[in-house]
């Protein structure tokens, strides 16, 4: 034993020295957004004088929100964050891939759509890097790719949530499903019809279906209303113009009709929906993001205004929330991030419910999607959460 002690002591010292000498892991995160830097400057000068074109705002707000999150992180681990403008030629996804810029990344966060989205999903799968799609409300046709995480839920998930809300809240009322002609409207109708089917092929809810022209008339609605019942009108179209027509007609209906309007997620961003002459209507719509304007939101507003001299949009909040939530998950769970997406330790504004969407043929996840949908009610100028 006496002979072994020096050997054990030497091994302990060598192991301790190796631990001390080993460099700490550096976690590298890439944030991808549409910033349009190339097209906003000419000969080193900003092209738009004192103006800020609307197409610049979403990307800038998302990026500023994300960078604010990293300014707030209090962690011992080392983090390197790189912001990429996918609209700048030298930072396009394809150019960055050719330069092997993704090889060192541990996490990809993107506020992107279309081709950029598809390229990032492919890279995430090829290199086993979690890709957080923060704002694109679409799966983009991605299949068999468990490294793609969709925060902004797809349309089928919204329809399921809206249907569940109607089923649980107004199951015996006079329900009207109003739509117009169109392929997108056909898909919406399919989602709702699928949700309404029982295991035996029957229907859970009874509703009246109506097809309107592109321009809704009051005569399209009145014959289906019941003055002795609560009337629920579901707008089966994402067309904002169609939805606004429905809202304006509802405003003109006789007071003898009790009415609830159920809109699509596109209603959240319709400016006219907040007009004071519509305040007496009960308007519902779905969203994946809910800000209760609490103390944290108040502090966020002040900090954002101090940095940008502007008010944060929902996209800015999403930028902060996405960066904060997933970076903390990465630091806590490391290579097990994908298995711990629903860890509530780092909640900011929104509750998430991430679940794999399974491929019926392969039996593997096509992607992972946030299934948590909020139903919001707008009435008398107040927005309240229903679930």
Res 34 pLDDT > 60: yes
pLDDT bin (cut points 50, 70, 90) of residue 288 is very high
Contact predicate 133/149, CB 8 Å: yes
Contact predicate 306/299, CB 8 Å: no
Res 18 pLDDT > 70: no
Whole-number pLDDT of residue 13: 47
pLDDT digits (tens, 9 = 90+) for 199-246: 888 899 999 999 988 788 888 899 999 999 999 999 999 999 999 999
10 Å Cβ neighbour count for 126?
12
Whole-number pLDDT of residue 15: 53
Res 146 pLDDT > 70: yes
Between residues 24 and 81, the one the model is more confident about: 81
The H-assigned helical ranges of the chain are 4-21, 37-40, 57-72, 93-98, 114-127, 155-169, 183-195, 240-252, 295-308, 314-333
Share of the chain above pLDDT 70, in %: 94
| Average of per-residue pLDDT across 92-117 | 97
Interhelix angle 295-308/57-72, rounded to 10 degrees, is 110
Whole-number pLDDT of residue 221: 93
List Cα–Cα distances, 67 to 144, 189, 255, in angstroms: 31, 40, 50
pLDDT digits (tens, 9 = 90+) for 240-287: 999 999 999 999 999 999 999 999 999 998 888 888 888 899 999 999
Res 329 pLDDT > 50: yes
pLDDT digits (tens, 9 = 90+) for 160-177: 999 999 999 999 999 999
User: Could you tell me which residues come within 8 angstroms of residue 250 by beta carbon, excluding any fewer than 6 positions away?
Assistant: 221, 233, 259, 261, 281
Instruction: Classify each residue of 39-73 as buried b or exposed e, where b means 16 or more C-beta atoms within 10 Å of its C-beta.
Output: ebeeeeeeeeeeeeeeebebbbbbbbbbbbbbeee
| Average of per-residue pLDDT across 181-192 | 96
Res 294 pLDDT > 90: no
Q: Helix, strand, or coil here: 112?
A: coil
Whole-number pLDDT of residue 217: 86
What is the full DSSP assignment across 160-216?
A: HHHHHHHHHH-TTSEEEEEEESSHHHHHHHHHHHHHTB-TTS-BSS-EEEEEE-SS-
Between residues 13 and 359, the one the model is more confident about: 359
Contact predicate 185/214, CB 8 Å: no
Whole-number pLDDT of residue 9: 43
Average per-residue pLDDT in the chain? 91
Share of the chain above pLDDT 90, in %: 76
pLDDT bin (cut points 50, 70, 90) of residue 20 is low
Residue in 223, 235, 227 with CA at minimum distance from that of residue 258:
227
Pull the structure tokens for residue 235: 């707008």
Give CA–CA dist 139/156, Å, rounded: 11
Radius of gyration of the chain, Cα coordinates, nearest whole angstrom: 25
10 Å Cβ neighbour count for 297?
15
10 Å Cβ neighbour count for 146?
17
| Average of per-residue pLDDT across 331-350 | 96
| Average of per-residue pLDDT across 3-13 | 45
Whole-number pLDDT of residue 22: 59
pLDDT digits (tens, 9 = 90+) for 342-372: 999 999 999 999 999 999 999 999 999 999 9
What is the full DSSP assignment across 368-380?
A: EEE---EEEEEET
Interhelix angle 295-308/314-333, rounded to 10 degrees, is 110
Domains of the chain with bracketed CATH: 26-39+53-153+294-372 (3.40.50.2300), 156-287 (3.40.50.2300)
CA 375 to chain centre: 14
pLDDT digits (tens, 9 = 90+) for 105-128: 999 999 999 999 999 999 999 999
- pTM, rounded to two decimals: 0.90
Pull the structure tokens for residue 2: 């006496």
Residue in 63, 54, 69 with CA at minimum distance from that of residue 33:
63
pLDDT bin (cut points 50, 70, 90) of residue 136 is very high
Q: Helix, strand, or coil here: 97?
A: helix
| Average of per-residue pLDDT across 32-41 | 89
């Amino acid at each position: 034993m006496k002979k072994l002690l020096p050997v054990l002591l030497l091994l302990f010292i060598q192991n301790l020295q190796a631990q001390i000498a080993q460099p700490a892991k550096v976690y590298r995160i890439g944030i991808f957004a549409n910033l349009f830097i190339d097209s906003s400057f000419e000969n080193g000068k900003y092209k738009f004088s004192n103006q800020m074109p609307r197409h610049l705002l979403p990307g800038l707000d998302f990026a500023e929100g994300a960078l604010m999150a990293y300014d707030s992180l209090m962690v011992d681990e080392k983090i390197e964050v790189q912001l990429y403008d996918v609209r700048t030629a030298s930072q396009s996804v394809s150019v960055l891939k050719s330069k092997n810029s993704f090889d060192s990344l541990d996490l990809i966060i993107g506020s992107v759509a279309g081709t950029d989205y598809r390229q990032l999903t492919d890279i995430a799968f090829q290199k086993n890097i979690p890709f957080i799609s923060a704002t694109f409300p679409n799966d983009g046709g991605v299949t068999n790719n468990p490294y793609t995480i969709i925060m902004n839920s797809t349309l089928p998930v919204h329809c399921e949530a809206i249907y569940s809300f109607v089923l649980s809240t107004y199951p015996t009322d006079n329900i009207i499903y109003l739509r117009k002609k169109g392929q997108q409207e056909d898909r919406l109708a399919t989602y709702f019809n699928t949700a309404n089917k029982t295991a035996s092929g029957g229907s859970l809810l009874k509703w009246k279906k109506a097809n309107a022209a592109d321009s809704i008339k009051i005569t399209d609605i009145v014959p289906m209303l019941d003055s002795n019942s609560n009337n629920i009108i579901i707008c089966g179209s994402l067309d904002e113009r169609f939805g606004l027509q429905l809202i304006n007609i509802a405003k003109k209906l006789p007071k003898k009709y009790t009415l609830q309007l159920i809109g699509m997620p596109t209603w959240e961003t319709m400016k006219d929906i907040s007009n004071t002459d519509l305040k007496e209507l009960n308007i519902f719509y779905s969203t994946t993001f809910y800000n209760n304007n609490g103390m944290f939101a108040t502090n966020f507003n002040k900090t954002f205004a101090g940095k940008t001299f502007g008010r944060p949009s929902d996209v800015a909040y999403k930028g902060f929330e996405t960066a904060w939530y997933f970076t903390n998950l990465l630091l806590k769970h490391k290579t097990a991030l994908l298995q711990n997406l629903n860890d509530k330790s780092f909640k900011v504004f929104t509750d998430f419910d991430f679940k794999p969407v399974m491929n019926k043929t392969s039996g593997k996840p096509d992607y992972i999607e946030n299934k948590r949908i909020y139903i919001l009610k707008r009435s008398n100028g107040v927005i309240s959460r229903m679930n």
